[in-house]
Amino acid sequence: MRDELLEEIQIKAKEGLPMQVTAEDLKEIAAELKPAEELPAAPAEGPTELKGPLPDSFPGRTALEAADINTYAQVRKQQASAEGLKGVTGIGDVTAEEIEDALKGK
């Protein structure tokens, strides 16, 4: 019954048709659901992506500014480019690593 009901709901939803579900249908479906404590835990939220202009203390800030890179989004764009962060004049291995850590919120 449950599978038939779910299939009917999916078909009607795809077609944009109205559907009727009785209280008994809902009780039957609910009886088969797992209690919340049996469900896997939701993944922990990672750090919030940094946005906006770079702070004065940002690693390699002078070199980034000289390359007209002034925001977190511009840094991420450069990081993802073929040249990467080391494609910016004045940024080497150490500074690139510091920038990557700063983007991760470290």
Model pLDDT for residues 70-97, shown as the tens digit of each residue: 999 999 999 999 999 999 999 999 999 9
Q: Is residue 54 part of a domain?
A: no
The answer to whether the beta carbons of residues 6 and 12 sit under 8 Å apart is no
Q: Residue 77 sits in which domain range?
A: 61-103
CA-to-CA distance for 64 and 79, rounded, in angstroms? 11
Same domain, 65 and 99: yes
> Are the C-beta atoms of residues 89 and 65 closer than 8 Å to each other?
no
Whether residue 83 lies inside any domain: the answer is yes
pTM of this prediction exceeds 0.95: no
Question: Cα(65)–Cα(61) distance, rounded to whole angstroms?
Answer: 6
Would you say residue 6 lies in a domain? yes
Whether residue 24 is contained in a domain is answered as: yes
Q: How confident is the model at residue 9, as a pLDDT?
A: 74
* Helical residues (DSSP H) of the chain, grouped into ranges: 2-15, 23-32, 61-66, 72-80, 93-103
| Local structure of 97: helix, strand or coil | helix
Residue 47 lies in a domain: no
Number of folded domains that form the chain: 2
Give the whole-angstrom CA distance, residue 106 versus residue 103: 7
Is 68 within the bounds of a domain?
A: yes
> Which residues lie across from 53 on neighbouring strands?
71
Is the residue at 51 inside a domain? no
